Amino acid sequence: MAASTPNNAATTSDLKGKKDVSTTSTWPLTSSAARQVTPGFMLEHLRQNPLTRACYPTAFGYYPQAAGHKMQRHKHSDNLLIYCDQGLGHIRTAQFSGDVHQGDVIVLPSGHSHEYWANADDPWTIYWLHFDGLQAHQLIEELDFNADRAIASIGQQPLLASDFNRLLSLRQSGYRHSVFNYAAALTRQILYFLALQIRSSNTLKRHNFNLDALRSLMLENIDGELDLDTMAACVQLSRHHFAEKYKKLTGISPVKHFIHLKMERACYLLDSGNDSAKQVSAQLGYSDPLYFSRLFKKVIGLSPSAYRKNLRG
């Protein structure tokens, strides 16, 4: 997160004074491209609605193989997110200049001068989103961006592309309030998803610690046992160093996290099928159903039978 980004949220009066229409590029749309700008009267609704004023889209779009696409802003009033799905682009800010590759994300907080453009030989395909709101800057802080860079690498993310496509599908709605309320919810969802991906990527870079590999190992052993030594070996650390580092990075011990994954799976089995608690216990590798029930209640707050009754009662 750039140091010049405000620490405090904007007030409602701050947002009322902002320019009503977001400044987007005028790149000529192809048949498969899309661009949606939120009109001023809808922005006013989003600013005033308690359910949407925290964060909402001011414009969004999709530019496939955007040859000739370029944009320069000396100052802009909202925040900008760009996800490069394919190809290559370039960016320059006051603090940074670099290439944008497939799987890279650009985040440009409001007020920052910048320019970006598609590569001439391999033009990028991008999803983009302008957003604003009372909590927009706090949400940007959640992204855990390097203060000296505008780019984070998260790799190809089909779920992110899917969320963007869902947002794009809301165009041509006749500017209904309910549709834009949903668009605001999708905007927050996209930002929170990015926060998870960027923080995971940064964790690996800073600590050489692959949390995704560990989670995959846990899921592969969800129906059995997994000891601390096996988990530590997965990331080539000693048992003690691994447990200490894992808790520091995630706030939870690896063993407790594994148990939580098991109980999450137990909830799914109890909800989706008719197997007894004893059968679910066996499916998760617990030979003692009473121990499983006590563990389930400790984590979930209800016994397995009470949990199922609450869902189906």
**How do strand 97-100 and strand 89-93 relate by DSSP bridges?**
antiparallel
Return the pLDDT at 1.
Answer: 34
Q: If one looks up domain 12-205 in CATH, what number appears?
A: 2.60.120.280
On average, the pLDDT of the chain sits at 87
Return the pLDDT at 231.
Answer: 94
Return the pLDDT at 299.
Answer: 94
Q: In the chain, which residue ranges form alpha helices assigned H by DSSP?
A: 12-16, 40-48, 136-142, 158-168, 177-207, 211-220, 228-234, 239-250, 254-272, 277-283, 289-300, 304-312
Return the pLDDT at 257.
Answer: 93
Residue 181 pLDDT class (50, 70, 90 cuts): very high
Residue 77 has which token pair? 């009033």
Return the pLDDT at 95.
Answer: 86
Q: What is the pLDDT of residues 198-247, one digit of tens each?
A: 877 766 666 667 777 888 899 999 999 999 999 999 888 899 989 988 88
Mean pLDDT of 168-179: 91
Ramachandran sector of residue 73 (left: φ over 0; alpha: ψ -120 to 50; beta: rest): beta
Residue of higher predicted confidence among 310 and 281: 281
Report the percentage of the chain scoring pLDDT > 70. 88
Report the percentage of the chain scoring pLDDT > 90. 63
Question: What pTM, to 2 d.p., does this model score?
Answer: 0.68
Q: What is the pLDDT of residues 26-85, one digit of tens each?
A: 889 989 999 999 999 999 999 999 999 999 999 999 999 999 999 999 877 899 999 999
Where do the structural domains in the chain lie, given as residue ranges? 12-205, 211-312
> Is 211-312 CATH 1.10.10.60?
yes
The span from the CA of 247 to the CA of 229, in Å, is 15
